[in-house]
């Protein structure tokens, strides 16, 4: 009780876990945003974060005005031994790293304890534990698709491939739309966003976009409803349609192709593969 009043982190009984071996970080060049999803194990909750350089993950404290960038206090963080500034997540062009920030109860990656102050490579699908708060890591948007496809790493830049084409981007995750919009605008496109299919249909009725990018699974209805609606509009057969989705099943992909989708990209989507796809659908020169 005294520790909680003073804002100190609750110390837990340590577990006999081996230290983890550092992973290489690779080239550290550009600062293209990443979008990461942290699923709180044992709950339905998901925390999304855009990482453009570095973020502090930990818990807020009512005694202090400052808050960590990723606040785990709503998930029983104090009782599970999470420190206020527990760890630091850093983004580079080719890697996401995590560093334990001298936390009271340690940071664990796939069961191995991190040495405090040392950076470790964080990957899609990793199990991350802060004290005893368990998180499942999923990447949603990454600068490069090299890890997903097992390709050699190549530096990622954002070339100007568009000439002001109007893109309608549909996703119910505002962090995702913010990151992808930023990339597409840098690449020379105008971007409008919608958080659900209903909003997107209103936009299409008002003005047919030049390109549509949509998530497949949305809160109000399937993105395929939007695909079919666009295809049925006058001139809609000429609009490139791109799916970016966490759904990876062959059945769903087949449905999308049958509905008229031109490109189907799975999350985590790399900025490089996104831009190559846009180059393809607008008939530009590959880079």
Q: Pick the closest to residue 244 from 284, 285, 214 (CA basis).
A: 214
Domain map (residue ranges) of the chain: 2-140, 166-281
CATH class of 2-140: mainly beta
Question: In this structure, are residues 119 and 86 in contact, taking their beta carbons and an 8 Å threshold?
Answer: no
- Cα–Cα distance between 138 and 125 in angstroms, integer? 5
* Residue 29: predicted pLDDT: 38
DSSP 171: -
- Cα–Cα distance between 67 and 44 in angstroms, integer? 23
The helix/strand/coil state of 97 is strand
Residue whose structure tokens are 């876990």: 17
Q: Pick the closest to residue 129 from 8, 19, 41 (CA basis).
A: 41
Sequence-distant (≥ 6) Cβ neighbours of residue 234 within 8 angstroms: none
- Cα–Cα distance between 93 and 103 in angstroms, integer? 27
Return the top range by mean pLDDT from 2-11, 74-83, 273-282.
Answer: 74-83
Question: In this structure, are residues 191 and 181 in contact, taking their beta carbons and an 8 Å threshold?
Answer: yes
Does the pLDDT of residue 155 top 70, yes or no?
A: no
Q: Backbone phi, then psi, for 201, in 5-degree steps?
A: -65, -40
- Cα–Cα distance between 7 and 92 in angstroms, integer? 33
* Per-residue pLDDT tens digits for 86-103: 999 998 767 899 999 999
Q: What is the CATH number of domain 166-281?
A: 3.40.50.2300
Does the pLDDT of residue 147 top 80, yes or no?
A: no
- Cα–Cα distance between 91 and 264 in angstroms, integer? 26
Sequence-distant (≥ 6) Cβ neighbours of residue 211 within 8 angstroms: 165, 166, 167, 168, 189, 239, 240, 241, 242, 278, 281, 282
- Cα–Cα distance between 208 and 108 in angstroms, integer? 49
Sequence-distant (≥ 6) Cβ neighbours of residue 246 within 8 angstroms: 140, 215, 217, 266, 267
What number is the average pLDDT over the span 163-182?
94
Residue whose structure tokens are 């995702």: 176
Domains 2-140 and 166-281 fall in the same CATH topology: no
| % residues pLDDT > 90 (the chain) | 63
Mean pLDDT, the chain, integer:
86
* Residue 58: predicted pLDDT: 98
Residue whose structure tokens are 């104090």: 78
């Amino acid at each position: 009780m005294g520790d909680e009043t003073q804002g100190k982190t609750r110390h837990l009984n340590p577990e006999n876990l081996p230290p983890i071996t550092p992973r290489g970080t690779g080239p550290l060049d550009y600062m293209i945003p990443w979008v990461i999803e942290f699923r709180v194990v044992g709950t339905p909750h998901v925390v999304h974060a855009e990482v453009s350089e570095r973020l502090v993950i930990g818990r807020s404290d009512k005694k202090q005005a400052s808050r960590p960038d990723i606040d785990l206090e709503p998930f029983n963080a104090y009782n599970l031994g999470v420190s206020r500034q527990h760890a630091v997540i850093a983004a580079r062009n080719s890697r996401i790293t995590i560093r334990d920030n001298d936390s009271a109860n340690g940071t664990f990656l796939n069961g191995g304890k991190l040495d405090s102050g040392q950076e470790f490579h964080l990957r899609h699908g990793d199990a991350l534990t802060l004290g005893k708060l368990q998180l499942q890591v999923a990447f949603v948007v990454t600068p490069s698709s090299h890890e997903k496809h097992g390709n050699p790493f190549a530096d990622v830049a954002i070339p100007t491939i568009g000439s002001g084409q109007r893109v309608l981007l549909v996703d119910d995750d505002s962090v995702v739309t913010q990151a992808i919009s930023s990339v597409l605008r840098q690449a020379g496109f105008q971007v409008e966003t919608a958080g659900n299919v209903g909003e997107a249909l209103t936009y299409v009725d008002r003005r047919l976009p030049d390109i549509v990018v949509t998530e497949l699974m949305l809160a109000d209805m399937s993105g395929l409803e939007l695909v079919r609606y666009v295809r049925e509009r006058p001139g809609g057969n000429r609009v490139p349609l791109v799916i970016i989705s966490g759904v990876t099943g062959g059945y769903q992909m087949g449905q999308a192709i049958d509905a008229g989708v031109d490109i189907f990209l799975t999350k985590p989507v790399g900025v490089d593969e996104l831009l190559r796809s846009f180059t393809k659908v607008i008939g530009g020169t590959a880079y």
